[in-house]
């Protein structure tokens, strides 16, 4: 074992790039201080300048298109009630533009002239989001309410002439609508009438303002949804939807488009790996485009595109199993990529990092469950046959409509360095494999995804590298529920469980989650009004007597998504059943752990717990 957890957690990530208005300066987020802050630099691998100095995390930063200033978002103590701040890059002065701490503010972008910005917020009613426009030099409650919403609204940008905003409304992760809001008349024009669940995502204005590019699974007759997402063009005058890039059985994840030149970067998710299409749309036919060479980037996972003012270059972040996240700048026409940031690996040689293998496990109904298995470096094939197999951590993602991809994780590399194997399944309900796969765990099918975990563990127990008696479950958020459910449904499979900000009781979770989230979550899990009995039946808290493995529960006191009461009740009742329980609550965290000192404490204790019991 080479390095302790503090060393691994000091491996840095640089991401969230944004080009300045002159094109020779780049902002990005980096967690050098322990929490993500805004940094800028003006040349590849130049010494960056730190621009914000907070104990709280910065969630995004966006340069003005015309002035040497940027707007960034920051919440307090993980409460997710983000405020918007303006940073003057010449003087360093920072000003809180929203200053309404009880409200959540969701960034909607700068106008093209840089005089205004837009956002959605639940200032008026905590359960719904309205649309606001604010002048760059206004603060506090000076923002103009331009549309009262009735649900989960977000913004996809200003029209090229700054007269309209593109508005998205989400009913669930698999059902959205798009509308255009006319800022002069206040009229909201609904663009996507449909039946059933249809996704309309990653929308961008076409350069002439007469159409919208988006990714969707609309079958183009308004009656159903395709299984995977494709890139489409929506004509605003006719309502016609035309396919531009088909995903060929995989999701087109999104598009970044420069609405002056028509240059774009489109990403496709193939088994968790990113494939990029870089091109330029034809000015006369919005469905035709010229392609440029795909950049050669390390790691296999890329995203977060920002074009420079002329769209001659674009910045994006890239990562992989053995590649910590950094920002690269790509020449649009040639595909030549250059690394700009130098997020360090804390002196740990990158060649010591271990790479995962994509595997598939057969589960219920002959379903193939994909996952990523990483073995520690010093494993030699055949050891397990001699009783020398390695312990394994089964790390289950949240969501549930999320996807574990082969991106860099300092925590994973730390446990690999300690001799653990690491398995990351994408059970039914995960995104990235089509709408049908993602819907296989909805409501009454919830426990089928837990059965997928059982199938994965049985597969691991037969693997020649793994010690079948030393298998631990770990997961966060919905993944925390999966840990607790796996421990209650299949108690004999586990040596230990680690539940991070997880759901123990679906009823109390839905009753106490943020008002703005409840409707979206009920669309996935079932409603309190109609499905309460089923929600109670599958809640781990009501099956706690089945738990046999030692349990470690970690949570943030300020969690607005999964309230801390979920951790407290499962820890108390499991302990009352005689289960060895460890509990750790952070007073200054929310849904996860953003502060370095807290992450060090959390994962040090997790490591001690697993070493003791696994």
Q: How much is the mean pLDDT over the chain?
A: 93
Q: Is 339 a residue whose pLDDT tops 80?
A: yes
Which structural domain, as residue segments, surrounds residue 373?
A: 354-613
- By C-alpha distance, which of 371, 464, 486 is closest to 422? 371
**Does 233 fall in a domain?**
no
Please, are residues 155 and 168 in contact by the beta-carbon 8 Å criterion?
yes
Instruction: Find the CATH number of the domain harbouring 553.
Output: 3.40.50.1820
Query: What local confidence, expressed as pLDDT, does residue 127 receive?
Result: 87
The answer to whether residue 609 sits within a structural domain is: yes
345-362 per-position pLDDT tens digit: 999 999 999 999 999 999
Q: Model pTM?
A: 0.92
* Whether residue 69 has pLDDT greater than 70: yes
Backbone angles phi, psi at 352, to 5 degrees: -85, -10
Quote the DSSP letter at residue 590: B
Tens-digit pLDDT profile for residues 283-302:
999 999 999 999 999 999 99
**Domain membership flag for residue 56:** no
Task: Note the pLDDT of residue 385.
Answer: 47
Gap between the Cα atoms of 155 and 462, Å rounded: 49
Domain membership flag for residue 344: no
Which band of pLDDT confidence, cut at 50, 70 and 90, is reported for residue 383? very low
Backbone angles phi, psi at 523, to 5 degrees: -65, -25
Answer yes or no: is 307 within a domain: no
Give the pLDDT band (50/70/90) at residue 223: low
Q: Flag whether 226 is in a domain.
A: no
The total number of residues written for the chain in this structure: 614
pLDDT digit string, tens, across residues 386-422: 557 999 999 999 887 889 999 999 999 999 999 999 9
Alpha-carbon gap, residue 353 to 376, rounded angstroms: 9
From 446, 451, 448, 496, select the one nearest 475 (Cα to Cα): 496
Q: Label residue 139 by pLDDT band (50, 70, 90).
A: confident
Q: Are 320 and 406 in contact (CB under 8 A)?
A: yes
Question: Average of pLDDT values for 457-482?
Answer: 95
Q: Is the pLDDT of residue 85 over 50?
A: yes
- On whether the CB atoms of residues 203 and 214 are closer than 8 A, the answer is yes
Query: Which value, to the nearest 10 degrees, does the dihedral of the CA atoms of residues 316, 603, 555, 470 take?
Result: 110
Tokens of 171: 């009913």
Q: Please report which confidence band the pLDDT of residue 380 belongs to, taking 50, 70 and 90 as the band edges.
A: low
pLDDT tens, position by position, 567-598:
999 999 999 999 999 999 999 988 888 888 99
Q: Is residue 467 part of a domain?
A: yes
How do beta strands 301-307 and 313-320 pair?
antiparallel
Confidence tier at 333 by pLDDT (50, 70, 90): very high
Segment 525-571, tens digit of pLDDT? 777 778 888 889 889 999 999 999 999 999 999 888 888 999 999 99
The continuous run of DSSP H or E covering 413 comes out as helix 410-417
Question: Counting runs of H as helices and runs of E as strands, what totals does the chain give?
Answer: 10, 36
Provide the number of structural domains found in the chain.
Answer: 1
């Amino acid at each position: 074992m080479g390095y302790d957890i503090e060393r691994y957690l000091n491996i840095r990530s640089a991401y969230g790039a944004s080009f300045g208005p002159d094109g020779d300066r780049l902002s990005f987020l980096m967690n050098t201080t322990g929490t993500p802050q805004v940094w800028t630099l003006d040349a590849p691998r130049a010494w960056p300048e730190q621009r914000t100095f907070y104990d709280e995390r910065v969630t995004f930063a966006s340069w003005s298109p015309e002035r040497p200033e940027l707007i960034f978002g920051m919440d307090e103590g993980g409460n997710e009630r983000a405020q918007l701040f303006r940073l003057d890059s010449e003087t360093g002065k920072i000003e809180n533009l929203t200053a309404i701490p009880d409200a959540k503010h969701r960034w909607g972008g700068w106008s093209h002239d840089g005089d205004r910005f837009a956002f959605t917020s639940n200032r008026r009613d905590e359960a719904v989001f309205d649309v606001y426009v604010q002048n760059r030099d206004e603060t506090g409650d000076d923002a103009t309410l331009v549309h009262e919403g009735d649900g989960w609204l977000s913004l996809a940008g200003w029209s090229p002439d700054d007269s309209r905003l593109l508005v998205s409304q989400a009913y669930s992760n698999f059902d959205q609508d798009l509308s255009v809001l006319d800022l002069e008349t206040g009229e909201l024009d609904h663009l996507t009438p449909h039946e059933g669940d249809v996704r309309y995502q990653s929308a961008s204005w076409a350069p002439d303002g007469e159409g919208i590019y988006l990714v969707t699974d609309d079958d183009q007759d308004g009656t159903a949804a395709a299984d995977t997402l494709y890139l489409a063009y929506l004509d605003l005058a006719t309502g016609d939807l035309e396919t531009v890039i088909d995903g060929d059985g995989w999701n087109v994840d999104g598009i970044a488009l420069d609405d002056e030149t028509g240059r774009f970067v489109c990403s496709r998710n193939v088994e968790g790996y990113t494939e990029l299409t870089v091109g330029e749309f034809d000015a006369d036919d919005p469905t035709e485009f010229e392609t440029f060479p795909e950049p050669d980037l390390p790691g296999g996972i890329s995203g977060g595109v920002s074009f420079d003012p002329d769209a001659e270059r674009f910045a994006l972040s890239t990562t992989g199993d053995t590649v910590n996240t950094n920002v690269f700048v790509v020449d649009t026409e040639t595909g030549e990529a250059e690394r700009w940031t130098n997020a360090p690996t804390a002196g740990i040689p990158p060649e010591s990092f271990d790479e995962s293998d994509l595997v598939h496990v057969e589960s219920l109904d002959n379903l193939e469950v994909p996952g990523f298995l990483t073995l520690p470096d010093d494993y030699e094939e055949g050891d397990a046959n001699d009783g020398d197999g390695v312990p394994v951590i089964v790390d289950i993602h949240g969501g549930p409509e999320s996807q574990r991809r082969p991106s860099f994780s300092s925590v994973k590399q730390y446990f690999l360095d300690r001799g653990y194997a690491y398995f990351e399944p994408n059970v039914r309900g995960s995104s990235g494999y089509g709408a049908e796969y993602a819907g296989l765990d909805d409501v009454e099918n919830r426990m089928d995804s837990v059965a997928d975990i059982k199938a994965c563990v049985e597969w691991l127990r037969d693997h020649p590298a793994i010690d079948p008696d030393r298998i631990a479950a770990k997961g966060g958020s919905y993944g925390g529920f999966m840990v607790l459910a796996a421990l209650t449904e299949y108690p004999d499979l586990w040596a230990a469980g680690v539940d991070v900000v997880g759901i123990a009781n679906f009823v109390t979770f839905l009753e106490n989650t943020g008002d703005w989230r409840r409707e979206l979550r009920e669309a996935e899990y079932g409603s309190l009004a109609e499905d309460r009995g089923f929600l109670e039946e599958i809640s781990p808290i009501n099956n706690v007597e089945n738990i046999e493995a030692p349990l470690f529960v970690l949570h943030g006191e300020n969690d607005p998504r999964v309230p801390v009461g979920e951790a407290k009740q499962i820890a108390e009742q499991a302990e009352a059943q005689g289960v060895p329980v460890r509990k750790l609550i952070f007073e200054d965290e929310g849904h996860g752990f953003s502060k370095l000192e807290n992450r060090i404490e959390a994962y040090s204790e997790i490591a001690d717990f697993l070493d003791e019991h696994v």
